[in-house]
Amino acid sequence: MKKLLSLFLLLSCLLGPVSAEDGSRLWLRQSTDAHAQITTPRQSPTLNIAVRELKQAWKGLPVTLVLKKDKQLSSEGFRIRQVNGKLTVTSPSETGLLYAAYHLIRLQEMQNFGKPSETDQEITENPAYDLRILNHWDNLDRSIERGYAGKSLWNWEELPGTLSDRYEAYARANASIGINATVLNNVNASSKILSAEYLEKVKALADIFRPYGIKVYLSINFASPMQLGGLSTADPLDKDVIAWWKQKAKEIYRTIPDFGGFLVKANSEGQPGPCDFNRTHAEGANMLADALKPYKGIVMWRAFVYSPTDADRAKQAYLEFQPLDGQFRDNVIVQIKNGPVDFQPREPYSPLFGAMPRTPQMVEFQITQEYLGFSNHLAYLAPMWEEFFDFVKPSSLKAIAGVANIGTDTNWCGHPFAQANWYAFGRMAWNPSLTSGTIAEEWLKQTFFDASNPKHAPIAYEIHNMMMESREAVVDYMMPLGLHHLFAWGHHYGPEPWCDVPGARPDWMPSYYHKADKQGIGFDRSHTGSNATAQYPDSLCRLYDDIRTCPDEYLLWFHHAPWQHTMQSGRTLWDELCYRYDHGVQQVRSFQKKWDLAENYIDAERFKDVQSRLKIQARDAVWWKDACLLYFQEFSGMRAPYEVERPI
Ligand code: GCU
């Protein structure tokens, strides 16, 4: 293999590097020498886009687009049939035909469809969820909460008068991967977003997104009737409050007739909510749902709640929401983060999933890397989401949301590989049974490597491996074996397991989570501790509750394990911890070597960008390892084994 690789390297050096790429074209960088014949049933903004895309990129058989109902197709589904040297694409909707156009182009890039020599075939695609939505945590001043790719795309100052080209480019990128909805503003919402002035700005964006099949939603501040409407209360059972929201809904739909609905963070991290008025989350959500109902709008009500009570933070969402099962209106969806704490590099899934059988639920993934190295670290997140779907059946969910990693950076996402996470979110939202490996391959073939060039295959293989191993590497060098929330105070980037801020909330301190002492380390969530294990279905509860059967990757999440505890590898816990941290560091170094092999295959700009970010990542990985091991060794009383790179 090595010999083969050097041969390929030599060959490509002779051929010279490929041309420069600015990264702004995302995965939509097809050549423009297309020559296909496209037939469409009519002209319309959406169909015109489909035709334009195909005319620009499709090099295969003639394509006929047909609008047609079909029992096997949902409204956005499509079917592609190849018969007698022609392709017929059918869908009940124009958006479905647009998705089919992007699908064809994707398949062409994969080199496996639409070439005249192939035998007749058929593809049927239906999205798994009707709602595939991005959540922007963008503030109205254009800062982005947990955003690492520049400022917010939405230039509120200039809207609605000036429309950036990037609005349409954004819509196009989303449509190409099946994302059909977007929440424009931060969940820590300003009530100003519902003012008449801002609704006009929102309308301008909605108008641009519409032909791409994308609906606009807004995060709302529950106290808007007070802050914006001048009422003395925001009590969801107060008749003036009810009337205020009804009136507001009417105004919104007059401005944006296909407005999607509200996303709500209530009684969480200081945000106002129904509990301020002794009402339940259900009462708050239902009041809003009633206001939106006549217009078919929905409410996505977040279950991200916790407060510094005696209850283990990991248990709180379940404790608060599970008893409300069956009390929500049918146009409310409870939106739950994938894990019970907060987007850590690894968490077990949130036990609230599946615990509210009479309530529609949706998952909230975080595409932006708040806890995985911002846009400095290469961390392909699809394996993490795939892991979630190993536990939570995709069909048990109503919808899927992802906290966006998009900003004004030229390449949209900061790290060139962070684009893969946006891409993967869209693809998994469309089809959660796609594997993370398949999605990585798709993305690589549309971004860095050319599937038709056999010289690219070996290097693409190496980079694919790097992507697939990258999330686990982050887990290893940051928080292996179920450790979580060891971050420094004030940011979520570097390590500070010793952090102690006098007077600060205990549940914001790393020691709340790692609980290291002379005996051992980890949070006892078994029956001898907080008993969070009891929130899981029986079989998992038993597995996690018993320290002898709890999988290594969750050990310190569920147990305060003795330093001498024997791990699955046969090592002691202390040694295993050292090995894992060390392994994480070694992995990043191996990524650097792999990436260096890519130099002659891709443009210099993206090559150097990734190379320099990998340097930062390698340095940070050592920082994490050294900080954590030096700190924890004060408790374990042991030093790292000689075989690992010891902290200095
Ligand atoms: C995390 C994040 C916050 C965010 C919150 C949320 O705690 O650090 O910035 O507001 O999640 O999801 O509401």
Query: What ipTM does this complex have?
Result: 0.99
Residues 52 and 22 reside in one and the same domain: no
Using a 10 angstrom Cβ sphere, with 0-12 exposed, 13-18 middle and 19 or more buried, the burial of residue 403 is buried
Taking only the tens place, the pLDDT of each residue in 34-82 is 888 999 999 999 999 999 999 999 999 999 999 999 999 999 999 999 9
- Computed over every residue of the chain, the mean pLDDT equals 94
Complete DSSP assignment for 360-428 = -EEEEEE-S-TTTTTTTS----HHHHHHHHHHS-GGG-SEEEEE----SSTTSSSSGGGHHHHHHHHHH
Taking only the tens place, the pLDDT of each residue in 91-100 is 999 999 999 9
Active site residues: 269, 342, 370
Taking only the tens place, the pLDDT of each residue in 78-91 is 999 999 889 999 99
Residue ending a domain, among 75, 94, 125, is: 125
507 CB within 6 A, ligand 1 = no
188 CB within 6 A, ligand 1 = yes
Q: How many domains does the chain have?
A: 3
Domain that holds residue 517: 1-27+448-523+560-648
| Cα–Cα distance, 426 to 409 (Å, whole number) | 20
The domain spanning residue 154 has which CATH number? 3.20.20.80
Distance 115 CA to ligand 1 centre (A): 48
Based on its alpha-carbon atoms, the radius of gyration of the chain, rounded to whole angstroms, reads 25
Write the DSSP symbol of residue 528.
T
Residues 223 and 88 reside in one and the same domain: no
The domain spanning residue 642 has which CATH number? 3.90.1330.10
479 CB within 6 A, ligand 1 = no
Q: Is the pLDDT of residue 4 over 90?
A: no
The verdict on residue 43 lying in a domain is yes
Confidence of residue 14 (pLDDT cuts 50, 70, 90): very low
Residues 90 and 121 reside in one and the same domain: yes
Q: Averaged over 517-546, what is the pLDDT?
A: 98
| Cα–Cα distance, 648 to 641 (Å, whole number) | 13
The number of the ligand 1 atom at minimal distance from the alpha carbon of 145 is: 9
Residues 154 and 263 reside in one and the same domain: yes
The number of the ligand 1 atom at minimal distance from the alpha carbon of 370 is: 8
Amino acid at site 25: R
Residue ending a domain, among 95, 125, 155, is: 125
Confidence of residue 115 (pLDDT cuts 50, 70, 90): low
Task: Say how many C-beta atoms besides its own lie within 10 A of residue 325's C-beta.
Answer: 15
Indicate yes or no: pTM above 0.90: yes
Q: Is the pLDDT of residue 116 over 60?
A: no
| Cα–Cα distance, 457 to 445 (Å, whole number) | 10
Q: Is the pLDDT of residue 117 over 80?
A: no
Using a 10 angstrom Cβ sphere, with 0-12 exposed, 13-18 middle and 19 or more buried, the burial of residue 10 is exposed
Q: Averaged over 480-509, what is the pLDDT?
A: 93
